[in-house]
Structure 1
Amino acid sequence: MKCAVIVTLALLFITAGFLLVPEGRAYACSCVESNAQEKLKTSTSVFTGKVVKRGGVQIFSTDRVRAYTFEVDTAWKGVSSKRMTVLGNDAGSESCGIQLEKNQSYLIFAYQDEEGSKLHTNLCSGNVSVEQAGDALKLLGAGKVLSQDDFGETIHGRSWSSYLMIYGGVVLLIVLVSGWIWRRKKRT
């Protein structure tokens, strides 16, 4: 009886060992292989740019993200201004995280979040430094080289025309209120 218990426990430990320890290495992050043209089709925004600001780590539920602000050089898709901010997964590479360095230039593939309000990227997106992006850039073809003139001159992210509309609206409102007050005083 004692021998049967020992054999049963031994078999139990061996079986548990096979079930709990995988045969090969396990990776938490596994990316689907695709080339730059395929990534261009599936990404919301594709551009090359220099990291001009590297924000601090923010935690959203269980995700660690860092905001990267880029000065965009060349655009292929989804670029709305000369400066673009993309949230990057800031976890380690085992969790598909990326760390981009300030003053370095990258080819960025970004996607919109569920709300459609922010761009995100991660290790599987296909981001690579411009120095290592030769083959990907050939596959993408000629992008549009951007200058500030493509978006109009801006102050703190707003164009001159938007400031003109705001100030014009304020002046018009002041004129209308002044006229209304003047007419009321004239009647009394």
Structure 2
Amino acid sequence: MIKRILSIILIISLVLIQLTTFYSSKAYACSCAFLETKEKLELYSVVFEGTVIEIGETKSLSPYSQVREYTFAVERAWKGVKDKEVIITSLDGGSNSCGYQFSKDRTYLVYASLDKDDTLLTSLCSNNLLSSEAGEDLKQLGTGQLINSNNEEGIPSSGILYSIFSLILISIIVAVWRIRTRTRK
């Protein structure tokens, strides 16, 4: 009798342990490994902070997956970016497909990988963050490289060119004025 009661208690205990061990209140379509900021910097081909300026149309890769392109105006870069604008591609099913959906006119810290077709890809597991929520990552990444209005050839922006042109023009006017005042005397 005691053996039977102990056996029943043991079976009930094992069932309860199984239920509590494998119980989850939520199920996710994709599971992602947590990476430290420095690990993400090493792992991904491109790391930058930028604002979404354009959201492309959805494109079908197969009957079961779609992608969308996002164009970013890059503000700062830590790795792999030198241009003012970058196009990032993500699966377009949101978290259901492990994709990441960006919002227009919002600024993000983006981690992306380069695929075999030289397309920059990101996903839910890339741990992209709104800049307003990326304080710890930004702190660990440091200042990065500011991507300003200079293009890759190093040609100054129109504002700098305008200033230089104005200084040259003023110098010419002053020189002509001095020459004329000397010749009148």
Q: Same fold (TM over 0.5)?
A: yes
2:16 corresponds to: none
Cα offset, 1:150, TM superposition: 4.8
- Describe the superposition over 1:53-89 as per-residue Cα deviations: whole angstroms up to 9, x where unpaired: 1001111123211100000000000013110000011
Q: Is the 8 A contact 2:83 2:147 kept in 1?
A: no
After superposition, residues 34-183 of structure 1 pair within 5 angstroms as: 34-61=35-62, 62-113=64-115, 115-152=116-153
Residue of structure 1 in register with 2:33 after alignment: 32
User: For residue 29 of structure 2, what is the amino acid of its counterpart?
Assistant: A
1-side partners of 2:40 and 2:117: how far apart? 18
Q: For residue 92 of structure 1, report the CA deviation from its aligned partner.
A: 2.6
Could you tell me which amino acid in structure 1 is paired with residue 76 of structure 2?
T
| SS of corresponding position for 1:148 | coil
Q: Which amino acid aligns with 1:98?
A: Y
SS of residue matched to 1:135: helix
Structure 1 CA distance for aligned equivalents of residues 153 and 138 of structure 2: 27
Q: Secondary structure at the match of 1:149?
A: coil
Q: What's the CA shift for 1:35?
A: 1.8
1:38 maps to a residue whose letter is: E
Amino acid paired to 2:102: L
- TM-superposed CA distance for 1:142, in Å, is 1.8
Deviation at 1:26, TM superposition (A): 3.1
> How many pairs align?
133
Structure-2 separation of matches of 1:48 and 1:54:
17
Cα displacement (A) at 1:152:
3.5
CA distance in 2, matches of 1:77, 1:87: 17
Q: Residues of 1 paired with 2:117 and 2:141: CA distance?
A: 24
Q: Extract unaligned runs of 5+ from structure 2.
A: 1-21, 156-185
